Structure 1
Amino acid sequence: MKKSWPTAFTAILLAVSLTACSTEKAAVEPASSSVEVTAVKEVTLDAVYDLSGTLQAYDETPVSFKIGGTVTSVNADIGDQVTKGKSLAQLDSADLQLDLDNANQSVAAAQASLSNAQASLTSAQASLSNAQAAKQAAQAGIASADAQIQSAKVREQGVAAGARTQEKAQSQNAVNKAQTAYNQAKTAADRAKTLFQNGLLTQQENEQAQTTLATAQDSLNDAKEQLSLLLEGASASDRAAAASTVKEAEVGRQSAVASVEQANSGIEQANAGIEQANAGISQAQASYEQAVIAKETAQLNLSRVGLAAPVSGVVLEKTISNGQTVTAGTAMFTLGEINKLKVLLPIADSEISKWKVGQQVSLNLYDEARTGKVTKLYPATNENTGSINAEVTIDNPKLDWKPGQVVKASRQAASLKGIAIPVEAVVSTGSEPYVFKNVNGKAVQTPVEIGNLYDNRYQITKGLKVGDQVVTQGADRLFNGDALTVSEATTK
Structure 2
Amino acid sequence: MVVKQFRWAGRAPMGTAGFLLIGGIGIVTVACGQPIEPAAQAQAEQEGRPVVVDVAVAADAATARTYTGTTRPARQVSLRSQAEGRLLGLSADVGDRVQQGQVVGNLDNVLLQTAVGEAQAELAARQFEVTQAEAQLADIRTSIEESRVRFQQASNDAQRLQTLASQGAVSAQEAEQAQTTLVTAQQALQSAQEQVRTRQQAVAAAQQRVEAQRSILRETQQRLSFANLTASLSGVVLERAAEPGDLVLPGEAVLTLGDLSQVLVVIEVADSNLSEFNLGQSVDLAIDAFPGESFTGQVTRISPVADSTSRLLPVEITVANPGGRIGSGLLARVTGTSGQSNAVSVPESALEVAEDSDSQIFVVTEADGLSVVEARSVQVGDRADGQVTLLSGLTPGEQYVVRSSQPLESGQTVELSLTSEG
TM-score, normalized by the shorter chain, greater than 0.5: yes
Match of 1:376 in 2: 300
Distance 1:451 1:140, change over 3 A: same
Residues 364 and 455 (structure 1), Cα distance of their counterparts in 2 relative to 1, 3 Å cut = farther
Instruction: Note closer, same or farther for the CA distance 1:296–1:490 as it changes in structure 2 (3 Å cut).
Output: closer
Per-residue CA distance 1:355-394 (angstroms, 9 max, x = gap):
2323131324342413222232423333333333332333
Residue 413 (structure 1) shift = 5.5
Matched, 1:47 2:57: no
SS state of the match for residue 111, structure 2?
A: helix
Structure 1 segment 432-443 matched on structure 2, within 5 A: none
How far apart, in 2, do the equivalents of 1:368 and 1:19 lie? 62
CA contact 2:71–2:328 (8 Å) conserved in 1: yes
Aligned residues with identical type, % of pairs? 20
**Counterpart in the other structure of 2:330:** 405
Write the letter of the residue equivalent to 1:52.
T
Q: Which of 362, 366, 369 is matched with 2:285 structurally?
A: 362
The equivalent residue for 2:252 is 330
Moved more, 392-401 or 96-105: 392-401
Match of 1:71 among 87, 91, 100: 87
- Matched with 1:102 is 118
- Residue 319 and residue 20 in structure 1: after superposition, are their counterparts in 2 closer, same or farther (change >3 A)? closer
Query: What secondary structure sits across from 1:328 in the alignment?
Result: coil
The amino acid of 1:372's aligned partner reads T
Q: Quote the offset at 1:82 in angstroms.
A: 0.6
Is 1:396–2:321 an aligned residue pair?
yes
User: What is the letter of the counterpart of residue 331 of structure 1?
Assistant: A
AA paired with 2:87? V
Q: Distance in 1 between matches of 2:187 and 2:261?
A: 85
Which of the numbers 184, 191, 207 marks the counterpart of 1:285? 207
Q: Are positions 1:319 and 2:244 aligned together?
A: no
Structure 1 window deviating more from structure 2 (122-131 vs 83-92): it is 122-131
Q: Which runs of 5+ in 2 are unaligned?
A: 1-6, 13-36, 42-50, 353-358, 363-377, 408-414
> Contact 1:36 / 1:489 at 8 angstroms: preserved in 2?
no
Correspondent of 1:273 among 174, 188, 195: 195
Q: 2:295 is paired with a residue of what secondary structure?
A: strand
Which structure dedicates a bigger proportion of its chain to strand?
A: 2
CA 1:123–1:398 in 2, change beyond 3 Å: closer, same or farther? closer
1:136-147 equivalences under 5 Å are 136-147=152-163
Choose from 115, 130, 133 the match for 2:146.
Answer: 130
Q: Give CA-to-partner distance per residue, 1:153-212, whole Å, 9 cap, x none.
A: 3xxxxxxxxxxxxxxxxxxxxxxxxxxxxxxxxxxxxxxxxxxxxxxxxxxxxxxxxxxx
TM-score with structure 1 length normalisation? 0.60
Q: Give the equivalent residue in structure 2 for 1:58.
A: 74
1:258 maps to amino acid: T
- Aligned-partner SS, 1:77: coil
- Mark the structure with the bigger radius of gyration: 1
Cα distance, 1:292 vs structure 2: 1.8
Q: Measured at CA, do residues 150 and 435 of structure 1 come closer, stay the same or move farther in structure 2, by a change above 3 Å?
A: closer
- Give 1:143-222 correspondences, 5 Å limit: 143-151=159-167, 153=168
- Report SS of the residue matched to 1:350: helix
- CA displacement at 1:127 relative to structure 2: 1.9
Deviation at 1:79, TM superposition (A): 0.7
Tell me the secondary structure at the aligned position of residue 272 of structure 1. Answer: helix
* 2:216 partner amino acid: A
Question: Is the 2:349–2:402 Cα contact (8 Å) retained in structure 1?
Answer: no
Residue 137 of structure 1: how far off its partner (Å): 0.7
Q: Is the 8 A contact 1:71 1:90 kept in 2?
A: yes
Selected match of 2:403 from 454, 472, 476? 472
Whole-angstrom distance in 1 between the partners of 2:235 and 2:400 = 62
CA distance 1:109–1:31, change in 2 (3 Å): same
Deviates more, 1:78-87 or 1:334-343: 334-343
Residue 382 of structure 1: SS of its match in structure 2?
A: coil
Task: Report the CA distance shift for 1:273/1:415 in structure 2 as closer, same or farther (over 3 A).
Answer: closer
The amino acid of 2:310's aligned partner reads T
Q: Counterparts of 2:228 and 2:197 in 1: how far apart (Å)? A: 49
Please give the alpha-carbon distance, in whole angstroms, between the structure 2 residues aligned to 1:55 and 1:418: 31
Q: 1:256 to 1:389 in 2, by over 3 A?
A: same
Equivalent position of 1:189 in the other structure: none
> Greater helix percent: which structure?
1
Which deviations, in whole Å up to 9, do the C-alpha atoms of 1:127-157 show, x marking residues without a partner? 2222222121112112222333344x3xxxx
CA distance in structure 2 between the aligned counterparts of 1:413 and 1:19, rounded to whole angstroms: 55
